[in-house]
Structure 1
Amino acid sequence: MKIINENVTAPNSFIAIVISRFNIFINKNLLHAALDTLQRIGMVKEKNITICWVPGSYEIAQVIQQLIQKNIYDGIISIGTIIKGETSHYKYLSKEVCSQLSNLSIKNNIPISFGIITADNIKQAIERSGVKINNKGIEAALTLLEMINIFKSIKSSKIINEKEIK
């Protein structure tokens, strides 16, 4: 039996963070928490991290596609905040952003972590970007680090032929 169960240290990884300026007062907390997690826990070198600011959450996937084409990143963190407003725009935007990021990750075989808060109101968004607990930036960074290691482990492992098992 082969079990792949990885840790969250990835000191030689190259990571991009794509962050939305819209709702910047929340997103800055997510960014700081993600960076702290990447460097303190993941041991990622500062020089191996690229931060790219975009206007809003919708533009995150477009920039991630460009970064993927550079073929230098082991993983990418998306950071943004989508808050429900008076119209149904929130629902369609949230669904589209999530779908685009998932498709990019699967299509390009690269981990992309979802550090985008979707909240019913500003209070919820602030709580999910907290400085002590429940910070979505920490969660996104930890998820990405583990997924980078899982991807590397799968790529480097030898797959056993079904005949060899019998």
Structure 2
Amino acid sequence: MSKRFAIIVSQFNQTITEKLLQGALNRFIELDVHKKNISVFHVPGAIEIPLIAQLTAKSKHYHAIICLGAVIRGETSHYDYVCQQVSQGCLQVMLNFEIPIIFGVLTIDNMEQAMDRVGGKEGHKGRDAADTALAMVSVVEQALSVTNSPSPTQQKLANQ
């Protein structure tokens, strides 16, 4: 498959985020996405994800961007601010650049919930993110063919 994907992964709560990353990478390989078509960007924490999402979207090099992280609730309101800022930032990039941004940032209360979502009883959110990225690329292509007005990102990708 010749589609290109960026994966942005937070290093904070790395025990969880590396499992998310491996799940996404493994799923892409299973679906015949070549490793050379996947770029991985590590950021210190979840709050840094939207900036790199914006820069990768702006490059017009990728068909979709996956954002992976794990924000675990603590005893202060910091959790609420981080979750809101990261989700709003990713949404803003998606709408501004008309590129699928897959929100694979876990917002959880504890480590048990995190483990349930990286291969436990709640499935594997990293694998789900790869599936969603591929599905959204297809839907975007379908929507653009119907409206017959490709986005600037899609135009640049088509001309490469």
- TM-score of the aligned structures, taking structure 1 as reference length: 0.85
Matches of 2:18 and 2:7, distance apart in 1: 12
Alpha carbons 1:18, 1:52 under 8 Å: kept: yes
Alpha carbons 2:58, 2:97 under 8 Å: kept: no
Deviations 1:63-113 (A, max 9, x none): 111111111100000000000001011011111111110111011100010
Structure 2 residue 63 is the aligned partner of structure 1 residue 39: no
Paired residues for 1:81-100 under 5 Å: 81-100=70-89
Matched residues, number:
148
Matches of 2:147 and 2:49, distance apart in 1: 35
Deviation at 1:157, TM superposition (A): 3.0
Paired residues for 1:51-62 under 5 Å: 51-62=40-51
Larger proportion of helix: 2
Residue in structure 2 matched with residue 147 of structure 1 by the alignment: 136
Deviation at 1:133, TM superposition (A): 5.6
Alpha carbons 2:73, 2:108 under 8 Å: kept: yes
Deviation at 1:12, TM superposition (A): 1.3
Alpha carbons 1:78, 1:112 under 8 Å: kept: yes
Alpha carbons 2:83, 2:107 under 8 Å: kept: yes
Structure 2 residue 130 is the aligned partner of structure 1 residue 136: no
**1:26 to 1:158, Cα distance in 2 relative to 1, 3 A:** closer
- Segments ≥4 residues shifted beyond 3 Å: none
Matches of 1:148 and 1:39, distance apart in 2: 17
Matches of 2:21 and 2:120, distance apart in 1: 11
- TM-score of the aligned structures, taking structure 2 as reference length: 0.88
Residue in structure 2 matched with residue 163 of structure 1 by the alignment: none
The unaligned stretches of length 5 or more in structure 1 are: 1-10, 160-166
Deviations 1:19-48 (A, max 9, x none): 00000111111111101111212x211100
Alpha carbons 1:29, 1:131 under 8 Å: kept: no
| Root mean square deviation, CA, Å | 1.4
- Identify the match of residue 96 of structure 2 among 70, 84, 107: 107
